[in-house]
Every structure is written in C-alpha cells, then in structure tokens.
Amino acid sequence: MIGFNEHVAWSHTFSTAQRFGLFELALDSAQPTTYQVDGTSEAMRPISITIETRDAEGNSVPVTRTLYRTRHGPVIDLGSLNKAFGWNASTALAIRDVNENNFRALRTFFYWNQSQSLNEFSDIQRREVGMHWVNTAAVAGNDGRAWYNDIGARPNVPDELRQRCIPTLGDAFAKVYSFILLLDGSRSACEWITDPRATQTGAVPAVIQPELFREDYVANMNDSYWSSNLQHPLEGYPSIMGAERSPLTLRTRLGHHIAQSAMNKGERTPNKLSKRVRIAVLDARVYSAELFKKPVLAHICRKHYVMLEHDSLTDTTFLPSRRINISDACRILGKWPNSGNAADRGGLIWDAFWARIERIPKVELYHIPFSPSAPLETPNALNVHDPRVTQAFGAGVLAISASKLAMDASRGSYLYARNGGYRIPLYGGCPIAGYFAIACDENGYEMTRTSYGNSYMQVVSFGKEGVEAYTLLSHGLRDALFESGQTRDTDSNLRRYANKKWLLFPFREADIILDPKLKRTVLYPDLDGRQSSRR
C-alpha cells in the first residue's frame, strides 16, 4: 500500500473515520426473524453456510449454520458483550459495512502507480474514493506541495441524522461504545444518506471529506485529520470522520515537533532533509520523559522511599502499606537520557511509572488543561503533588523489583525479537508514553506475532537525479522462519532494522542490475498449461 514511483511518493496511517454502523431492529413479537420498517414487516433473508469439519474419529462431517440478512446488512448478536445488545424477542442489531461492495482500492493503487504528478494522484483519489481504512499523505518531485487527505469510503451520516435517529438502546450503547454508529432501523428516514456526488450508495462524497495541500509539511500519526498541519487545522466535518479540537497523543505531538525541526534545522535540499528525517524517525525519544521527568524526580525523589498503598495498574491494595525504597530508581532515572535505544538504561522504570500514570484522568493529571489553540503544548504541567503520582512511581519500582529484570537493565536486554534462536535487541516502546519509534506488546517486551510497531518505512526524496528512496522493513516472511530456530540470517530485515541500517532502494533499471543480491525468476508455461520457473 505504501509506496512510490518515479514521480510520486505516498504513505498511509490509520484513519479515525468510521466504516460501518449498526441498526437497531424492532422485531415482530411473534416472529424473531421479521422486523418492522415504517410499520411494515420485512422478513430476514436466511443464508445457510456449510463447511467440512473433523469429528473425534477424524471423519469429515458437514456442519451447517444459518445466518440472517436484512436490508441493512447481516444480523449480529452482541449478547456476549452485553446481554441488552443480544438478539432477543423484541430487538436485534444489524451491521452495515460501507466497504462491503467497495472494490476500488486495488484500482486506486493501480492508477497511483502510474501517476506522474501530485494533481493526477489526488484526482485519482477523489474519483475512486476507495481507501478502506487509511488516510494518505503524498508528495511529488515536480510539485512543491505536500498533500494530506482522509478521503475514502465512509458512511454518509451527518450529526443531525445521528441525533434524530437515536434508537431505544442508543443511550445505553453510547455509554459503552460511544465511537460506534447506532441508528434506528425501524425508520427508513434513518438510512445512510445517498448523495449523487458519491461513488456509491450511502457514502460520503469526496468533495466534503478532509484534505489539505501545504508547502511546508503534512503529517498524521494515527490521529485525527484535524491535526494534519496545525497552522491550518481541518474543521467542520461530521463526527463519523473523527474528533476535532481534541487532545493529541504524545506521539502525535512529538511527530509534529520532528517534522518542524526537520524543516527548520539546516538546508532544505532533498538529500539533507532525507538524512535528517531518517535519523529522527528512528531516534527513540520518549516524549513524556522529555516533558515531565525533571519535575517528577524533583518532587518524588526528595525522599528515599514511598509508602505504597495501591497499585492502579494491577488494582492491588496494600494493607498495611509497604515501604518501597526508590533511591536506585531515582539515581538511574536521573542519568537516563530520556530515550529508548538498545543501550539506554532507565526506560524500564519510566515505562512502569507511566503505565500507571495513564490511569489518572487527564483533567486531574495536569495543571494546564488542553487548549485547541495550543495543541502541541497542552495539556501540560504534570500535577506531581497528586498522591497518585507518587503511588504510581512506588508501584512501578515494586513491580520491577518483583520481576527478573534489573532496575538498570539496558533497553535491548528486555526489548527484543527472536531470530534463529537469537535475541535481537530493539529500540523504541509503546506510543502511550510518547515513543515515536514503536515496538510494543501489551503483555511484555518480547516482540511476537501479537505485538505491534514500526513495519515498512520509506524516506523518499526527489532531487536532480530523480527519485531516491531509503527503505526499512522491520519484519518479513523470511524472518518468520527464524522464529523456529531453523537458521540464522545475518542480514535479515529484522537485523537491518535493529541496526537502523536504511536500504538505498535500487529503483532504476541500472541500479537493479548492479545489485549483488539480484535474483531472476523466469516463468515458462508447460505444455499441460501449468507454469514452471527457472532461476
């Protein structure tokens, strides 16, 4: 998905817009597979699905299940999440997915790969409106602008429609899943609006979706479209597109500072900008520590201990309270450079502390609340005098002491991924603490198939010689083999990423031919119609 050609480069992050919505069905009391729309009964359409399974003796046995579909979409049963949201005698929920019949994404990429200018690239996006779940940022070599957009397949549900179509379960549902769209399915007036300008029925037309051209930069760090460039915030869109004038994540705040620094620090030639960006995006800065470590240590470390009463992360209460010696933790954090590189020592303590700090409501955690007019600077001034802050520090120290890790363990000794039986030390951390370079697992520090973080990265510039791309892939199909210990690859994607060793991508034909690792595979059709390959 992320890529470039000779003229244009583009990237994506997760869009905050909604792609599906639920409809509350009013069922006929005598027939739970019939529902009412404008006082008229409509029967659900049964769909039987049969699959082959194995019984206890290993024999193949067909199993059939009947699902049901409505005018809105398939019926779903959320009773396992909350009994009130299950399929009962009077109510059921149906789901409508705007992408169910959206096959335009592949066509979009097909045309993008051939685009020769930023205008052509953006025209393709507006014409196809095919992005399923991402927003897009793009630049071109023959254009001095950067383009951000969150144009894609989205339900056409203005806030006015959402408010007048709140169903019976609406208030209860909003308390648990406020971000999910739920409308009254018993009224046809509550259907998604069809706009003749849209590419499909019930979708938002491209012309009223967020986009922005800038001559400095655009950016998105999996946050709302609102903050793509804070000199020109994008506002006035329906809430199904995402939040506006709301606090940014620490990672988003850091990302904007990185972009602004790259633009304002030194010459803006393509080569020098590219080099600055390549260094900055892999620099494992911890923005929460840059902002708040100094006042935290100044307050908490006045004493050598904390009387711990409660651990907010594990919800453990200590009766009587426990005296936790924090001297070593304070000393180690004082020397820590506020970064999560593999050799850095101290990040383990800060991670444990910040994971607990996050349990404190933001309105109580900061003296200076969020201000839409200063989104990169607020909220700020951590309320270090709140007893819960001191408790979070003591609980974090106790948790590390109870683990097998040393308080001053180097980052790479516990943050790692495996390659052929070897541990590969990594850098970065979880975005919640403001790491820009992400390597995160909710259950620990070993990166496994359930972890998330940096994946494919590219820094593309367009100079006098044309396109120049540096790329990194933190994982790959070949790396998956090494988890089983079959072999050790000394130059795998994982190792290259761990060493921050960007690859100068061989794009031109002459560069490809000169690549010492080039392998050619030629496909030949066999007489029986199958294909064979020769290298």
pLDDT tens digits, 280-292: 999 999 999 999 9
Give the homologous superfamily in CATH for domain 247-466: Aminohydrolase, alpha-helical knob region (1.10.1400.10)
CATH class label, 20-97+160-189: mainly beta
pLDDT at residue 535, as a whole number: 58
Length of the chain counted residue by residue: 535
| Whether the predicted pLDDT of 21 surpasses 70 | yes
Residue 485: band (very low, low, confident or very high) from pLDDT cuts 50, 70, 90:
very low
Name the residue ranges covered by the structural domains of the chain.
Answer: 3-17+101-157+192-246, 20-97+160-189, 247-466
Question: Buried b / exposed e across 317-355, counting CB within 10 Å, b at 16+?
Answer: ebeeeeebebebbbebbeebebbbbbebbbbbbbbbbbb
The SS3 call for residue 66 is strand
For residue 180, count other CB atoms closer than 10 A to its CB: 13
pLDDT at residue 524, as a whole number: 84
Query: pLDDT (tens digit, 9 = 90+) per residue, 87-123?
Result: 999 999 999 999 999 999 999 999 999 999 999 999 9
**What does the mean pLDDT of the chain come to?**
94
Calculate the dihedral angle through the C-alpha atoms of 346, 348, 351, 355, rounding to the nearest 10 degrees. -140
Q: Which CATH number fits domain 3-17+101-157+192-246: 3.40.50.1820, 3.40.50.300, 1.10.3720.10, 3.60.20.10?
A: 3.60.20.10
Q: Average of pLDDT values for 242-256?
A: 97
Q: What are phi and psi of 520, to 5 degrees?
A: -110, 135
pLDDT at residue 484, as a whole number: 46
Token digits of residue 288: 């929460």
- 3-state SS of the chain: helix, strand, coil percent to 5? 30, 30, 45
Query: pLDDT (tens digit, 9 = 90+) per residue, 357-404?
Result: 999 999 999 999 999 999 999 999 999 999 999 999 999 999 999 999
Q: Average of pLDDT values for 462-487?
A: 73
% pLDDT > 70, the chain = 95
List, as one string, the DSSP characters of 132-201. Answer: SSEEEEEEETT-S-EEEE--S--B---HHHHHHT--TTHHHHHHH-TTSEEEETT-GGGSPPP-TTSSST
| Whether the predicted pLDDT of 307 surpasses 70 | yes
Task: Collect all residues with Cβ–Cβ distance below 8 Å to 494 and sequence separation of at least 6.
Answer: 417, 419, 424, 474, 475, 476, 479, 482
Local structure of residue 535 (DSSP, 8 states): -
| Whether the predicted pLDDT of 229 surpasses 50 | yes
| Whether the predicted pLDDT of 525 surpasses 70 | yes
In the chain, the amino acid numbered 104 is: R
Task: Collect all residues with Cβ–Cβ distance below 8 Å to 516 and sequence separation of at least 6.
Answer: none
| Whether the predicted pLDDT of 480 surpasses 50 | no
pLDDT at residue 516, as a whole number: 87
pLDDT at residue 486, as a whole number: 47
* CA atoms within 13 A of residue 85's CA, in its CB half-sphere: 20
Residue 228: band (very low, low, confident or very high) from pLDDT cuts 50, 70, 90:
very high
